[in-house]
Amino acid sequence: MPEYRQDPLSQRWVIVGSERSSRPQEFVERTDRPSDLNCPFCAGNEEQTPHAVQIYPATNGRAKTFPWQVRVVPNKYPAVTTEVPASPTSQNGSLHRHEIGFGQHEVIIESPEHITSLSELSLADQVLVWRAYQDRLRTLRQDGRFKYVQIFKNVGAAAGASLEHTHSQVVALPWTPPDVQSEADRFGQHQTKTGRSLLTQIVEEELASGERIVAQSPRFVAFCPWASRFPYQVCLAPRKQAGTIEQLQAGELSELATIVGEVIGRIERALARPSYNLILHTEPFDIGSHDHYHWHIEIFPRLTKAAGFEWSTGCWMNPQPPEQAAALLRESGLSPAS
């Protein structure tokens, strides 16, 4: 049974054990990758995953070939599970704080075909993925048992992916994780102090300077953060404050899919298709409306490895100045003519 445990020295929370737990040799790094024949995410292999909780049909001529375009399924090896009591919190009376690992862990399969990056999808199909993000956030918010939903992509083995077929993960938690709560608190404090969103101010400063801008569109800006902890880290945010992507309309979603696809494309061309992570930062469900959380996306290729210094100090070493990273990503155009 998965469990949330808090380390008394670092006060870090860890989800320990779970369906993912198994024998030691399973942790050894695997270099072999599944072919599309035995990929559980490919159309035709639906029986290898749990029953879908949501399906988005293929559009245009593809509907004849594929029964679905995007498919949301419970994670077969969940880190947290709804099959345990949501409460009560248990305590063993010592220094060891822990709680039962209640939560919901899902996978968004982003294509019926065996492709390995979001950037290989048509724009319409990329929009469907963002539509699925919106729908899962709305559904899990309405569920009432969850306080926060983390949506993220691990692309490539170096980014922690075990399957290469393009997909996202959704983890719904009955509590707000510490780093998310700290960020929300900082948005609230900045709002109280200055009357505006911290990220709006950052975006304006980035636009004024220009040296770390990677891409922009009428509603969105992508830049390499001034204190990037990873080389080529990109933050993508709406120019105007909003706590979540749930209210974005069709046209806005299309614009978002376009600029995210552009950023991923630039990273893939500049760095020969590296492994990367994509993280959606969205508001905790119980945040006060006055706290003005400002949603954003982080995308970073996995080129360097966190090592002894980072694990110990919480301070990061990034050999690549973000000004240089942004310049290289800007140069990595969409086509020779761009």
305 binds a copy of itself (CB under 8 A): yes
- For a copy of itself, the binding residue among 30, 205, 286, 288 (CB under 8 A) is 205
- Which of 38, 94, 289, 335 lies at the binding interface for a copy of itself (CB under 8 A)? 94
Q: Which stretch binds a copy of itself (CB under 8 A): 3-11, 122-130, 215-223, 256-264?
A: 3-11
Q: Which residues are 220's β-sheet partners?
A: 238
For a copy of itself, the binding residues in 8-67 under the rule CB under 8 A are 8-18, 20-22, 24, 27-29
Query: Is residue 315 a known part of a binding site?
Result: no
Q: Is 165 annotated as a binding residue?
A: yes
Total binding residues for a copy of itself by CB under 8 A?
87
In the complex with a copy of itself, which residue's Cβ is closer, 58 or 129?
Answer: 129
Considering the complex, state which of residue 53 and residue 159 has its C-beta at the smaller distance from a copy of itself. Answer: 159
* Residues from 102 through 131 that contact a copy of itself (CB under 8 A): none
Alpha carbon distance 257, 133 (integer Å)? 12
141 vs 281 by CB, closer to a copy of itself: 281
Catalytic-labelled residue, pool 96, 105, 167, 292: 167
CA dist 322 → 211, 230, 281 (Å):
9, 9, 21
Q: Which stretch binds a copy of itself (CB under 8 A): 4-12, 37-45, 137-145, 248-256?
A: 4-12
91 lies in the site for a copy of itself, by CB under 8 A: no
224 among the known binding-site residues? no
How many Cβ atoms are within 10 Å of 135's Cβ, its own excluded? 17
- Report the nearest approach of a copy of itself to the CB of residue 126 (Å): 18
Between 46 and 165, whose beta carbon lies closer to a copy of itself? 165
- Supply 57's token pair: 């049909």
Query: Does 96 carry a binding-site annotation?
Result: no
Among the listed residues 38, 142, 312, 338, the single contact to a copy of itself using CB under 8 A:
312
In angstroms, rounded to a whole number, what is the distance separating the alpha carbons of residues 304 and 321? 14
Q: Are 166 and 107 in contact (CB under 8 A)?
A: no
Site for a copy of itself (CB under 8 A): which residue of 63, 201, 240, 247? 201
* Binding status of residue 171 toward a copy of itself by CB under 8 A: yes
Of 45, 82, 134, 169, the one binding a copy of itself (CB under 8 A) is 169
Binding test (CB under 8 A) with a copy of itself, winner from 44, 57, 160, 288: 160
Which DSSP category does 50 fall into? P
Residue 238 Cα distances to 74, 125, 155, 248, angstroms:
30, 21, 24, 11
167 classed as catalytic:
yes
DSSP 110-165: --SS----GGGS-HHHHHHHHHHHHHHHHHHHHHSS-SEEEEEEEESGGGT-S--S
Residue 262: how many CA atoms within 13 Å on its side-chain side?
A: 22
DSSP secondary structure of 171-225:
EEESS--HHHHHHHHHHHHHHHHHSS-HHHHHHHHHHHH-TTEEEE-SSEEEE--
Positions marked active-site = 167
Binding-site members for Zn(2+) are: 39, 42, 114, 165
